[in-house]
Amino acid sequence: MKREIYAKLLEWKSRKGHKPLVLDGARQVGKTYILKEFGVREYKNVSYVNLDKDAVAKSVFDPDHDIKRIIRTLSAYTGVDIVPGDTLIIIDEIQESSAALGCLKYFKEEFPQYDVAVAGSLLGISIHEDQSFPVGMVEFVRMFPMSLLEFLNATGNEKLTELLLNHDWESVNILSQQYTELLRQYYYVGGMPEAVAGYIAGKGLKAVRQIQKDILAGYRRDFSKHAPNKDVPRIEMVWDSLPSHLAKENKKFIYGALRKGGRAKEFEMAISWLRDAGLIYKVHRVSKIEYPLSFYEDFDVFKVFPLDVGLLGAMTDVPASQMLVGNNVFKEFKGAFTECYVNEQLARVQIPVFYYSSNESEVEIDFAVQTENRVIPIEVKAEENVKSKSLKTYIDKYPELKGLRISMLNYVDQGWMENLPLYAIEGYFSQ
């Protein structure tokens, strides 16, 4: 399946003097697949090792940081002649070896002619725990679950993707029913590549849901295998609480909902672990929507979203009939799926994402984002009934801003705000 990240990998390869590439992201988002695909297509040879499954490969990096020895040993072990420019060295699950992480520095400093790409499912955790990580010596690229646009391409709807990327709003509006039907499917299937592949292969909705359940079970095994024993119960409590938090009207994360009298000091490490593992997004509140948003960030108040809307459906066991028939998924469940979806699409654009609320008023803005040129208050509506006073009230107070409403309505520019269809988020922010 075609992935948007491929263009970033090509850009890295074409740039002279590039550093070793670190592909970061949660487990099962397709890191191994895309690196192997990239290596096969763009290089004469690929030397691949997995440090989680192969003890011999892991031992290659243990004795020292002698890059000549490492290259020689990897070449002999993988049976691939490692030639600068012709060979891509892929080190998978690199977080399993601090020695291998340390070697990246010496690849950059002493042997920059070799192309090295590494991946790790829990790399974010290793970076925070391992002080020897070669900061400044590598290039990071973050990989996400498949976006709606990638889902459209995978299901043979490339022309629909082109319309969104070209901002051809007149054509997009005409085809709104087709986009909406595909969006329903995406809410159910989500963006985990294995689930998308199963759906495209016609394995059936139950098979897709089982794939998602298996992925969730794998995450839970990671809790026990990689997290400190004392933190595992709290990590599980936070993870299991996500659906109930998102079902609340304001979606705000409440420690007391985990345990009566629960406090931040009990659960902040669990939240940090899940975020570092790439399994959740933590969206902080801002007290004002003004550039730069980080000046107004409140670290004590936040929302938490899981990484994928399809996995949220699997966590809550919402039946396929509720998600694929009619508009129930858009208007029920207090917009939980829609806000999760919107956050996921905004996050992959890689712009700062927050939300706004104030103790002095009832106005709450679902999201606030910062682009290169402006800050945007965003109101999310899970259906066509878009009556709400919050966005209009806020824009009336700060008329220098222009709002964005993301809903099931067609695209329209009303001057003080634009209405954007739910399926057009990534295309809108590609401008």
Counting beta carbons within 10 angstroms of the beta carbon of residue 6, is it exposed (0 to 12), middle (13 to 18) or buried (19 or more)?
Answer: middle
User: Tell me, what CATH number does 22's domain have?
Assistant: 3.40.50.300
Residues 306 and 197 in one domain: yes
| In a domain? residue 1 | no
Closest to 365 measured CA to CA, from 427, 307, 288, 313:
288
Residues 258 and 366 in one domain: yes
Q: Which of 107, 142, 177 is the last residue of a domain?
A: 142
Contacts of 222 (CB under 8 A, 6+ apart): 27, 121, 122, 277
| In a domain? residue 74 | yes
Q: Check if the beta carbon of residue 278 is closer than 8 Å to that of residue 205.
A: no
| In a domain? residue 198 | yes
What tens digit of pLDDT does each residue of 144-186 get?
A: 999 999 999 999 999 999 999 999 999 999 999 999 999 999 9
Contacts of 265 (CB under 8 A, 6+ apart): none
* Separation between Cα atoms, residue 156 and residue 160, nearest integer Å: 9
Q: Check if the beta carbon of residue 152 is closer than 8 Å to that of residue 182.
A: yes
Mode of pairing for the β-strands spanning 45-50 and 280-286? unpaired
Residues 262 and 399 in one domain: yes
| In a domain? residue 407 | yes
Rg (CA), the chain: 23
Percent above pLDDT 70 for the chain? 92
Q: What is the DSSP string of 292-351?
A: SGGGGEEEEEEEEEES-HHHHHHHHT--HHHHHSTTHHHHSGGGHHHHHHHHHHHHHHT-
Residues 224 and 258 in one domain: yes
Greatest Cα-to-Cα distance within the chain, rounded to the nearest angstrom? 68
| In a domain? residue 253 | yes
Structure tokens at 65: 């940081």
Q: What pLDDT, on the 0 to 100 scale, is given for residue 333?
A: 56
Q: What pLDDT, on the 0 to 100 scale, is given for residue 360?
A: 67
Residues 138 and 152 in one domain: no
Residues 117 and 152 in one domain: no
Structure tokens at 48: 């691949």
Residues 353 and 374 in one domain: yes
Q: Check if the beta carbon of residue 249 is closer than 8 Å to that of residue 242.
A: no
Residue 23's domain spans which residues? 6-142
Q: Give the relative orientation of helices 336-349 and 232-246 as an angle to the nearest 10 degrees.
A: 110
* Separation between Cα atoms, residue 105 and residue 168, nearest integer Å: 46
Question: What is this structure's pTM?
Answer: 0.91
Q: Check if the beta carbon of residue 328 is closer than 8 Å to that of residue 322.
A: yes
Q: Check if the beta carbon of residue 409 is closer than 8 Å to that of residue 386.
A: yes
Residues 195 and 263 in one domain: yes
Mode of pairing for the β-strands spanning 45-50 and 87-92? parallel
Residues 55 and 124 in one domain: yes
* H or E element in which residue 356 lies: strand 353-357
Q: Which of 105, 126, 142 is the last residue of a domain?
A: 142
Q: Which of 98, 120, 142 is the last residue of a domain?
A: 142
Q: What pLDDT, on the 0 to 100 scale, is given for residue 251?
A: 80
Residues 304 and 415 in one domain: yes
Residues 88 and 230 in one domain: no
* Residues lower than pLDDT 70 in the chain: 124-133, 261, 321-334, 360-361, 383-388, 431
The length of the chain in residues reads 431
What tens digit of pLDDT does each residue of 114-149 get?
A: 999 999 887 766 655 554 667 778 999 999 999 999
Q: What pLDDT, on the 0 to 100 scale, is given for residue 131?
A: 47
* Separation between Cα atoms, residue 142 and residue 130, nearest integer Å: 19
* Separation between Cα atoms, residue 147 and residue 155, nearest integer Å: 12
* Residue with the two structure tokens 């406090």: 263
The number of domains in the chain is: 2
* Separation between Cα atoms, residue 261 and residue 257, nearest integer Å: 9
Q: What pLDDT, on the 0 to 100 scale, is given for residue 152?
A: 97
Counting beta carbons within 10 angstroms of the beta carbon of residue 15, is it exposed (0 to 12), middle (13 to 18) or buried (19 or more)?
Answer: exposed
Residues forming a β-bridge with 146 = none
Residues 128 and 175 in one domain: no
| In a domain? residue 321 | yes
Q: Is the peptide bond before 112 cis (omega within 30 degrees of 0)?
A: no
